[in-house]
Amino acid sequence: MTIQSPQPDFVVPDGQALHVAGVATGTGGFEPVLVDAVQVSVDGGPAVAATKHVVAHQKVPTVTFSASVAVGDQPGAHTVTVVVTDDNQAHASASVQVLRDISVVVPPPAILIDLEPPFPTTADDPSVQDLVGTVAQTLATQASQLTSAGLLLVGPNVIATQDGSGIPILRLGVWLLDAGFPVQPPAPPQFPLPRLSPPQAVAGFALVPPLRRGHRTGFTDTPFGVRVPETTLQRLADFARVQAGNSDVESITVTLSAPATASTVVSGSHLGISFSIDIEETLSVAPVAGVDPPQSIPHVDSEYSTNVGSFLDWLIGALIPIVGGILVIGSVELAENADQVPGVVTGLLSGLPGRVAVHNTSLPAQAQSQFDFPQVVLDWSAFGVNDDGLEGAGDAIIAERNQAGARLTVAGPGSLNIPHGEFDVDTVYRLQLWQIRPDDGGLTWRFHPPVGTEHTGTADPGVLAEGADVDFDFVLPPHSLQGTFTISATAIETCGTDATKTISATATKSILVRTH
């Protein structure tokens, strides 16, 4: 039996009954079994008998059915269930969810990710909720910045559904909404962002058909599709321009053109002279050299045209912090030269991780025994423009990490000068991690001055475990004109299912400090 109408997430108009229709079959052969009855109910309420019409000249007894049923006035999701009974009193049933009274118009997600999980799962599965919480925690800092400008970063919400071929998928969405939009409050620490109600999320997801995904290559990988509409990029560009506080830049306009072009036009005036710069980015994917397993990532080739002449260096310097503010999931560092004029897509991608180390206890139960130290490798097969949005596709491969690949570095200047008249200099160094996800409290540092007592501490490597920033105060001994300080760091990770297995990494950096 198949329900042909309504489609999932159909919004039932106020004051109207719901039309339910479909097709049911019995059993063919020498002794055919006919469809005897079709019953339709809403939310487990009283059943309504559907009208049947026999479809002639079929090898298998076939009927179409239809019924009109009342859907409750309660806002939100309602479940319509159809039960078919044959002459032998065997039953078949199917359900579809419809919506009633969605009082506000929910837009499509600002960021949409479709996942094809390797194992049967549901939206409330602990491993799925762990993924949702990780995304929310990653976005928390940027969300607070957007809130100050009257924008809400909402989500992620996740639903389990099927694509057009009936393949089970998970849809994960983040929304960028105006302040005052009705949302559910945050539930920190796991879910620090507000979220949509389930009916609201379903209505928003329904506006975007399932995305194209990469192809599965193994038993534990997860094909994915990603979409960021042009409207999201434009809203983020407008926000970033205002936040940068550069009054010379009057507008930033983002335009996407299929199959692979993004245009960022910056206009304004400087010293009374009008300027504009048109940055055209061509999108593709490119392989990463020397990695195992093989991997391709999004790639951008950028060209620009401008009428500003000698003001180009100034403009690039002004544009870089603006584009950096566009990024939702990371930070942007771009050289201030004419060869690296940043467009919106460059800013968006600069903080996108290619590989994420995870604990094996974060994997679905079926996969935990297969990996001691897993990492998620995002292997992209497509990245371009489709239907006024950035769209990408690929396969998230789970691969094993080992001791040989684990690395830790101390990033920062190798020499410092104490300003004239000061006694110390305060500088931030980054403990950068590769292919290791330290245990809680497992990323530690030691600060060795030229003389005196050393200092120790722990650092928080962040949600994605890419690294941690630590602020050090360099104080020379009395009457010293220079001295060498040493920063050392250690990272230790323990297998989540076997405490006898660990990987570790260490790093040391010497810093020469001088005084004028």
Go through the domains of the chain in sequence order and give each one's CATH number.
2-100 (2.60.40.650), 104-210 (no CATH), 227-401 (no CATH), 404-515 (2.60.40)
Q: Which residue has the tokens 């045209």?
A: 305
The β-bridge partners of 400 are 374
Pairing of strands 502-515, 415-418: parallel
Going by pLDDT thresholds of 50, 70 and 90, the confidence category of residue 404 is very high
User: 353-365 burial by CB neighbour count: b if 16+ within 10 A, else e?
Assistant: eebbbbbbebbbe
Q: What is the pTM of this model?
A: 0.69
Q: Which pLDDT score is estimated for 502?
A: 96
**Residues present in the chain in total:** 516
Max CA-CA distance within the chain? 107
Q: Which pLDDT score is estimated for 314?
A: 47
> Are 253 and 277 a contacting pair, CB within 8 Å?
no
Mean predicted confidence (pLDDT) in 471-490 = 92
Going by pLDDT thresholds of 50, 70 and 90, the confidence category of residue 283 is very high
* Nearest-10 Cα torsion for 191, 193, 197, 201: -100
End-to-end Cα separation, the chain, in angstroms: 85
Going by pLDDT thresholds of 50, 70 and 90, the confidence category of residue 346 is confident
Q: How many CB atoms lie under 10 A from the CB of residue 469?
A: 14
Whether residue 341 is predicted with pLDDT greater than 70 in this model: the reply is no
**% pLDDT > 70, the chain:** 91
Q: Using CA atoms, how far apart are residues 339 and 274, in angstroms rounded to an integer?
A: 22
Closest to 111 (Cα-Cα) out of 158, 170, 176: 176
Q: Using CA atoms, how far apart are residues 152 and 499, in angstroms rounded to an integer?
A: 41
Mean predicted confidence (pLDDT) in 147-157 = 83
Pairing of strands 467-475, 482-494: unpaired
